[in-house]
Amino acid sequence: MIALRWHVGECQRFVEEQPFDAILANKTGWGCVLGAPLESGKPIFSVDIHPDGTKFATGGQGQDSGKVVIWNMSPVLQEDDEKDENIPKMLCQMDNHLACVNCVRWSNSGMYLASGGDDKLIMVWKRATYIGPSTVFGSSGKLANVEQWRCVSILRSHSGDVMDVAWSPHDAWLASCSVDNTVVIWNAVKFPEILATLRGHSGLVKGLTWDPVGKYIASQADDRSLKVWRTLDWQLETSITKPFDECGGTTHVLRLSWSPDGHYLVSAHAMNNSGPTAQIIEREGWKTNMDFVGHRKAVTVVKFNPKIFKKKQKNGSSAKPSCPYCCCAVGSKDRSLSVWLTCLKRPLVVIHELFDKSIMDISWTLNGLGILVCSMDGSVAFLDFSQDELGDPLSEEEKSHIHQSTYGKSLAIMTEAQLSTAVIENPEMLKYQRRQQQQQLDQKSAVARETGSAASVAGVVNGESLEDIRKNLLKKQVETRTADGRRRITPLCIAQLDTGDFSTAFFNSIPLSGSLAGSMLSSHSSPQLLPLDASTPNSFGTSKPSTEPAAAAGTRPAGNSVNKDSVNATSAPAASSPSVLTTPSKIEPMKAFDSRFTERSKATPGAPVLTSVTPTAVERLKEQNLVKELRPRDLLESSSDSDEKVPVAKSSSLSKRKLELEVETVEKKKKGRPRKDSRLMPMSLSVQSPAALTAEKDTVCLSVPAPTLKLPMPGPQRAFTLQVSSDPSMYIEVENEVTAVGGVKLSRLKCNREGKEWETVLTSRILTAAGSCDVVCVACEKRMLSVFSTCGRRLLPPILLSSPISTLHCTGSYVMALTAAATLSVWDVHRQVVVVKEESLHSILAGSDMTVSQILLTQHGIPVMNLSDGKAYCFNPSLSTWNLVSDKQDSLAQCADFRSSLPPQDAMLCSGPLAIVQGRASTSGRQAARLFSVPHVVQQETTLAYLENQVAAALTLQSSHEYRHWLLLYARYLVNEGSTEEGATEGTAASHRAEPPLPASLHRMSGTARHPKGQVACPHLPQLQPGQGHLSPRRAIVGQGDTGRRWSVAAPVEGGSSAGNSSLSPGPPRRAGAGAPPCCPGIREAHRDRPSSARSRGGH
């Protein structure tokens, strides 16, 4: 082992060779070469090596701010590189943190770096690729930032110093902990969304670690406890206090670590017989029987090697399978470092006095053979191990095999490569896949953006280079005078940032100077639109058409497997026939036009060409359209009695035809026979048909595409498995054509529920399967749908569907089948009633190129369709109507601002079907208010209307939890917005009771609020007692009506303990044996109990 140490700023590099007799080599350390930027002796609190091993980040104290530095790794590893002046040592430094940086962590993908500091902030950094090296302006000029890392998100929630941050396996979540005693879980896909705030610690939380399987997260705090939280519901799994009882004094950090095999969790600072230890906690039962002993002072940091090792096989020795083991480094306040193997009882190595001050953080290289250690004394040491010392690392496959054999398949333990091909087995996987696709989209748009901005930064914009622009900037820049006569300059935007911030969309109409304006605007707005409107990714000339078909093709198989799980993840393609048809066709015109036009006139590709061509195409469109209208109908008819994959076949045949045509032209050209007629014919054809398709979408009136509705169907697979739920663990395994009995092939369905297995055989191939805790259902070929109980009893003879299955879904005892002909059925198989009978999706899909992006079946059997245009509809069985429950583009939602009414503690934690379809509320309302200076009255009205919508939507979805949430929010808003009449009081109070007619009465009440004459007194409400309430204090007092009494409202959440709450608690998913329909038990009960009281009170 070799240990190198750089004392930053002191020109020293220590080389320590095993065993521990330190050889002091007085070389020029690169810390010194770097000189000024690293304040010598300033503590370094955190170090983390990038997953690709080429760089590492440090975080600590800067001059008068926190400092994050990204370093090149190769000078650390190789002395030659260190001496080579051409190899940069420092890649980037960021001094944006206002105060000391306590933690830096790379995401597992390496794309992001998260840093947390004493300024209570977490910053997420991403590399900006389009800007080359630059200097930090004014910082002595010599130091170039070789790489540009840009802060893409600032996460604000903590009210105290952030001590540690940690990315979950596969970067789904980012956790942060703080001296405010909380742990916050951020949605790493959608910063700054907070998924959960974990409360429970009563002291400063100083360390975090994720379970490598992704099931838990552990935190250690100054309150002498280590807590393990479940990721399933973000609740406390266990709190371990015993080993920490004796702990006195405080360490700066308590960085605990989970072993890569998941078996052990090792704490920082624990005590055993008044000696400092690192406590080993077994996953099995959270037993605390072992610890690492030996350090003389408190353990500050524990870090497991990411690799699992096995004994090195010696030549000649029998290859007896040795137990794999893990390797762990422990750093302490006593300035020494110990490295342990879990197969040895003594440490592998102990290095005493490696530093002058406490060790603060440790990071292993990904290959597991090196570690970087940083210290409060401002230095970083690198230790290099050999394989002889540690053993043979297991490959990632072996590691994931260990995980799978121990924990079963789950998201966290699958590698990226496996995931892309894996069968979706549980919701997390589905989420993951969806995220991947989203990322792909984002990346694509980012590429488009970057190419756009790169052109504007480095290259030529509208024939003008940046140099030219600069020359004339003074003349061209827009300068105006403000009302008070001051000069106001509109700056020239020369590059977009890849922040992906929604609010930038508001600025699309910035006036830009001179000839730049046009090009800037296009590059400005198009990337913004991409993520919003995923179904038209290619209508901009900027993105490369050639990548698109590949992507579309790539997502199709994924889409198929996703369909099986009935929630369709793909946003753009594959979900329904219009897009399956149009995605390729949309691309084709580009390609076709491009090649044609470059052939002829070398015109610039992309949008301008498209516009110049469409007129001609539109001319022929009408006749073409007739043909087109016929075609799908034929196909539909033919498909209804065959189980072929019609849409796929169709689109491929279409594109194949186009391909053939193109090939034809090319061939002819090659042969050099310029027969004009024949050459033009196929050309116009190949251009026309796709153009017709595109144009048809634009001009909605042309035809009714209803008959063309055709949803994709899952193709038969040989075998697949499906995880229904993880707790209790339940799997469905399907093997098609597994046994042949007398020439008849049978398919096997196997179900495993908490170890109990049953299986059955079916005569036709199983296309898709779904399950819930109550039922398992499979859709087979020949349009058969079979339903079994979870114990394997067949509940019904096979159901014959009207057309082939597209998507199957189960929730509770409800089974939802979406057929390829876009009809939807929902049955309650236990009560054997139909909930939704062959309802067509035509009404919600018709007339546009929308696709179904997500399908949901609530626990009350309400189907919800999320469409690609951001709208979501649920089917109301009692009215037989499709109801719009969410619209992303809804201007109401964008203008509504009810933030002030949100109870602070459970900010956005309301979950349920409505939250799922709508996503989390954004801050757009406030943005709108700020940007458009919406008059307050208008905003108030829109907010009221929005909240009204939400209440109604939650009610329609029979989501009691959300109904309560929105109703309370509504009431709070009314109260906060000065609707201080008794009517509002009644609303809030009544919401405790949650009678169904409330929305209506509330509506009237909001009316009351605006017209104070119609006051309604309600002195008899039990929840309302003078002086009781503690709703946000500044506005707690409401309603000083004619009675002259002062009413206080109990804050909704706190008030939830009152009797009214019990009737509203979400209740178990299904109440066994209940005669009443299991919809919204609370609401129903209330309804029965007090059928008319609300009405009588509400009326005025």
Partner 1 sequence: MAKVQVNNVVVLDNPSPFYNPFQFEITFECIEDLSEDLEWKIIYVGSAESEEYDQVLDSVLVGPVPAGRHMFVFQADAPNPGLIPDADAVGVTVVLITCTYRGQEFIRVGYYVNNEYTEIELRENPPVKPDFSKLQRNILASNPRVTRFHINWEDNTEKLEDAESSNPNLQSLLSTDALPSASKGWSTSENSLNVMLESHMDCM
> Residue 428 phi/psi, 5° resolution?
-65, -40
Please report the beta strands in 694-830, taking only residues with DSSP state E, as ranges in sequence order: 719-726, 729-741, 744-753, 756-762, 766-771, 775-780, 784-789, 799-800, 805-811, 814-819, 823-828
Of residues 142, 320, 345, 486, which one binds partner 1 by CB under 8 A?
Answer: 486
> Residue 258 phi/psi, 5° resolution?
-105, 140
- Complex with partner 1: residue 118 or 981, whichever CB lies closer: 118
Give the containing element (helix H, strand E) for 902: none
Place of tokens 């998260």: 114
Give the containing element (helix H, strand E) for 1079: none
- Complex with partner 1: residue 103 or 587, whichever CB lies closer: 103
Region from 170-178, 484-492, 797-805, 1037-1045 binding partner 1, contact rule CB under 8 A:
484-492
3-state secondary structure of 926: helix
- 517 is a site residue for partner 1 (CB under 8 A): no
- Complex with partner 1: residue 97 or 403, whichever CB lies closer: 97
> Residue 807 phi/psi, 5° resolution?
-140, 140
- Please report how close the Cβ of residue 1051 comes to partner 1 at its closest, in angstroms: 20
3-state secondary structure of 497: coil
- Please report how close the Cβ of residue 494 comes to partner 1 at its closest, in angstroms: 5
- Complex with partner 1: residue 95 or 838, whichever CB lies closer: 95
- 763 is a site residue for partner 1 (CB under 8 A): no
- 902 is a site residue for partner 1 (CB under 8 A): no
- 151 is a site residue for partner 1 (CB under 8 A): yes
- Complex with partner 1: residue 482 or 642, whichever CB lies closer: 482
- 146 is a site residue for partner 1 (CB under 8 A): no
Of residues 419, 423, 493, 909, which one binds partner 1 by CB under 8 A?
Answer: 493
Region from 83-91, 148-156, 173-181, 182-190 binding partner 1, contact rule CB under 8 A:
148-156
For the chain, the distance separating the N- and C-terminal CA atoms, rounded to the nearest angstrom, is 85
- How far, in Å, are 411, 754, 789 from residue 770 at the CA level? 19, 17, 12
Q: In the Cβ-directed half-sphere of 206, how many Cα atoms lie within 13 Å?
A: 23
Region from 105-113, 132-140, 285-293, 614-622 binding partner 1, contact rule CB under 8 A:
132-140
- Complex with partner 1: residue 290 or 494, whichever CB lies closer: 494
Residues 430-459 that bind partner 1 (CB under 8 A): 457
- How far, in Å, are 577, 580, 621, 629 from residue 699 at the CA level? 18, 19, 11, 14
- Complex with partner 1: residue 68 or 635, whichever CB lies closer: 68
- Complex with partner 1: residue 141 or 755, whichever CB lies closer: 141
- 1080 is a site residue for partner 1 (CB under 8 A): no
Give the containing element (helix H, strand E) for 49: strand 44-49
- 154 is a site residue for partner 1 (CB under 8 A): yes
Please report the beta strands in 342-402, taking only residues with DSSP state E, as ranges in sequence order: 349-351, 359-364, 370-375, 379-384, 392-393
- Please report how close the Cβ of residue 469 comes to partner 1 at its closest, in angstroms: 9
- Complex with partner 1: residue 98 or 232, whichever CB lies closer: 98
Of residues 101, 121, 661, 822, which one binds partner 1 by CB under 8 A?
Answer: 121
Residues 45-84 that bind partner 1 (CB under 8 A): 65
- Please report how close the Cβ of residue 98 comes to partner 1 at its closest, in angstroms: 5
- Please report how close the Cβ of residue 979 comes to partner 1 at its closest, in angstroms: 21
- 139 is a site residue for partner 1 (CB under 8 A): yes
CA distance 30 to 18: 23
CA distance 953 to 910: 14
- Please report how close the Cβ of residue 896 comes to partner 1 at its closest, in angstroms: 17
CB 715 within 8 A of CB 645: yes
CA distance 1077 to 1093: 23
Closest CA to 720 of 425, 426, 413: 425
- 495 is a site residue for partner 1 (CB under 8 A): yes
- 501 is a site residue for partner 1 (CB under 8 A): yes
- 494 is a site residue for partner 1 (CB under 8 A): yes
CB 535 within 8 A of CB 868: yes
- Complex with partner 1: residue 98 or 666, whichever CB lies closer: 98
- How far, in Å, are 45, 113, 192, 513 from residue 188 at the CA level? 23, 12, 8, 37
- 904 is a site residue for partner 1 (CB under 8 A): no
- Please report how close the Cβ of residue 288 comes to partner 1 at its closest, in angstroms: 38
Q: In the Cβ-directed half-sphere of 775, how many Cα atoms lie within 13 Å?
A: 27
CA distance 403 to 411: 11
Residues 96-115 that bind partner 1 (CB under 8 A): 96-98
CA distance 70 to 47: 10
- 795 is a site residue for partner 1 (CB under 8 A): no
- Please report how close the Cβ of residue 505 comes to partner 1 at its closest, in angstroms: 10
- 473 is a site residue for partner 1 (CB under 8 A): yes
The encoded tokens of residue 862 equal 């309400």
Of residues 420, 451, 503, 721, which one binds partner 1 by CB under 8 A?
Answer: 503
Q: What is the size of the binding site for partner 1 (CB under 8 A)?
A: 46
- Complex with partner 1: residue 122 or 1083, whichever CB lies closer: 122
- 161 is a site residue for partner 1 (CB under 8 A): no
CB 856 within 8 A of CB 875: no
3-state secondary structure of 489: strand
- Please report how close the Cβ of residue 501 comes to partner 1 at its closest, in angstroms: 6
- 482 is a site residue for partner 1 (CB under 8 A): yes
CA distance 709 to 98: 56
Give the containing element (helix H, strand E) for 179: none
- Please report how close the Cβ of residue 774 comes to partner 1 at its closest, in angstroms: 47
Closest CA to 348 of 404, 394, 389: 389
Of residues 477, 515, 684, 848, which one binds partner 1 by CB under 8 A?
Answer: 477
- Complex with partner 1: residue 135 or 443, whichever CB lies closer: 135
- Please report how close the Cβ of residue 491 comes to partner 1 at its closest, in angstroms: 4
- Please report how close the Cβ of residue 71 comes to partner 1 at its closest, in angstroms: 21
Region from 23-31, 238-246, 313-321, 501-509 binding partner 1, contact rule CB under 8 A:
501-509
CB 502 within 8 A of CB 924: yes
CA angle 900, 1036, 1094 (to 5 degrees): 95
- Please report how close the Cβ of residue 139 comes to partner 1 at its closest, in angstroms: 7
- One-letter amino acid for residue 1078 of the chain: P
- 936 is a site residue for partner 1 (CB under 8 A): no
- Please report how close the Cβ of residue 42 comes to partner 1 at its closest, in angstroms: 18
Distance of CA 703 to the CA centre of its chain: 38
3-state secondary structure of 71: strand
- Complex with partner 1: residue 884 or 902, whichever CB lies closer: 902
- 1083 is a site residue for partner 1 (CB under 8 A): no
Region from 398-406, 467-475, 546-554, 801-809 binding partner 1, contact rule CB under 8 A:
467-475
The encoded tokens of residue 925 equal 């309302």
Closest CA to 562 of 439, 444, 425: 425
Which residues, including other chains, have CB under 8 Å from residue 479's CB and lie 6 or more apart?
Answer: 487, 488, 489, 490
- 905 is a site residue for partner 1 (CB under 8 A): no
- Complex with partner 1: residue 795 or 902, whichever CB lies closer: 902
CA distance 270 to 275: 8
- 499 is a site residue for partner 1 (CB under 8 A): yes
Q: Give the residues lining the site for partner 1 (CB under 8 A).
A: 65, 96-98, 119-121, 123, 131, 134, 137-139, 141, 150-151, 154, 156, 159, 457, 470, 473-474, 477, 482, 486-497, 499, 501, 503-504, 506-507, 510, 930-931
